């Protein structure tokens, strides 16, 4: 009798475990195959989930595939990854130009540039395509999730997930709940974040959240110091790296993020908060006008070789 009872308990436990697994996210779509989209795709696929990566046209998709290949090949040369890792990641990524390919995905992550109208347009299109239970995630760093979510019918299933670059190496992600996001959505996305190796940090919806709001004034001030001739870019970064145990200095960090992206953050925060510390300095405006955007163009505050390594 005791043995039968134990067997019954084992069966019940197995059944509950199976139900939990069935409720887990297994299929993820990413809209936008830029640097952030590639990084998110690599991270998600690297954790064993199936990924559909969608870009607007075939040329951009092929360029993204080549960039991700080069990124992972560099990691292989550094012994940080293996060829088997690369093969496994690429086997789980499906490259698409047709938005309809995402219709059966449980989570859809938007990772396009920081443009409110563009994000709303994408969400409206996806709202007609995706299954009713799909969760929509925006990778926005400064925009209102509440306003974005109010443009579609599933506002309770919209949430922000602010990844930092390089996505595979940064162990945290900000979870941004809008006024309409349901608790069920938050719980599912927290589980998803943990599953892909990220520590989820919950933040209230507010311009810049935690990470962007904190880093923008530091980058801005470092650029002012450079503009005023207080020190060279290299010495400013060295002082802050060694003085505060940063992995990267703020100027190199800005180049890695993309100076056009950083300028957009500054303009958005200055417009919404009105505080002088967010007002873009003349240097970043000049560099962006000259299309010197950082690592992605080979020159920004510093110069970079074809592999993205800083040239001293």
Q: What does the pLDDT average to over 51-58?
A: 95
pLDDT score of 10 more than 60: no
Q: How do residues 267-279 score in pLDDT, each as one tens digit? A: 999 999 999 999 9
pLDDT for position 23: 65
- Predicted model pTM: 0.84
Residue ranges of domains in the chain, CATH in brackets: 25-204 (3.40.50.720), 212-304 (1.10.1040.10)
Q: How do residues 178-232 score in pLDDT, each as one tens digit? A: 999 999 999 999 999 999 999 999 998 888 899 999 999 999 999 999 999 999 9
Q: How do residues 130-187 score in pLDDT, each as one tens digit? A: 999 999 999 998 889 999 999 999 999 999 999 998 899 999 999 999 999 999 999 9
Three-class SS string for the chain? CHHHHHHHHHHHHHHHHHHHHHCCCCEEEEECCCHHHHHHHHHHHHCCCEEEEECCCHHHHHHHHHHHHHHHHHHHHCCCCCHHHHHHHHHCEEEECCHHHHCCCCEEEECCCCCHHHHHHHHHHHHHHCCCCCEEEECCCCCCHHHHHCCCCCHHHEEEEECCCCHHHCCEEEEEECCCCCHHHHHHHHHHHHHCCCEEEEEECCCCCCHHHHHHHHHHHHHHHHHCCCCCHHHHHHHHHHHHCCCCCHHHHHHHHCHHHHHHHHHHHHHHHCCHHHCCCHHHHHHHHCCCCEHHHCECCCEECCCCCEEC
Q: How do residues 56-105 score in pLDDT, each as one tens digit? A: 999 999 999 999 999 999 999 989 999 999 999 999 999 999 999 999 99
pLDDT for position 206: 87
């Amino acid at each position: 009798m005791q043995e039968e009872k134990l067997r019954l308990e084992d069966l019940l436990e197995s059944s509950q475990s199976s139900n939990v697994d069935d409720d887990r996210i297994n299929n993820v779509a990413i809209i936008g195959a830029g640097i952030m989209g590639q990084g998110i795709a690599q991270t998600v696929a690297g954790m064993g989930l199936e990924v559909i990566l969608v870009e607007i046209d075939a040329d951009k998709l092929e360029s993204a595939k080549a960039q991700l290949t080069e990124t992972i090949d560099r990691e292989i040369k550094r012994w940080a990854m293996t060829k088997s890792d690369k093969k496994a990641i690429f086997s789980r990524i499906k490259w698409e130009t047709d938005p309809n390919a995402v219709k059966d995905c449980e989570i859809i992550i938007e990772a396009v540039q920081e443009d409110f109208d563009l994000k709303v347009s994408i969400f409206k299109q996806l709202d007609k395509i995706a299954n009713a239970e799909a969760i929509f995630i925006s990778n926005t760093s400064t925009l209102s999730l509440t306003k974005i979510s109010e443009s579609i019918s599933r506002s309770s299933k919209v949430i922000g997930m602010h990844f930092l670059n390089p996505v595979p190496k940064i162990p945290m992600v900000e979870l941004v709940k809008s006024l309409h996001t349901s608790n069920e959505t938050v719980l599912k996305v927290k589980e998803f974040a943990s599953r892909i190796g990220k520590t989820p940090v919950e933040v209230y919806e507010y311009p810049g959240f935690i990470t962007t709001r904190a880093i923008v004034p530091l980058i801005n001030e470092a650029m002012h110091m450079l503009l005023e001739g207080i020190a060279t870019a290299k010495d400013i970064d060295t002082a802050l790296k060694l003085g505060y145990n940063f992995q990267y200095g703020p100027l190199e960090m800005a180049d890695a993020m993309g100076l056009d992206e950083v300028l957009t953050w500054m303009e958005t925060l200055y417009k919404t908060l009105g505080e002088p510390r967010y007002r873009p300095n003349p240097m970043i405006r000049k560099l962006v006008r000259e299309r010197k955007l950082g690592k992605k163009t080979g020159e920004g505050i510093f110069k970079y070789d074809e592999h993205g390594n800083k040239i001293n």
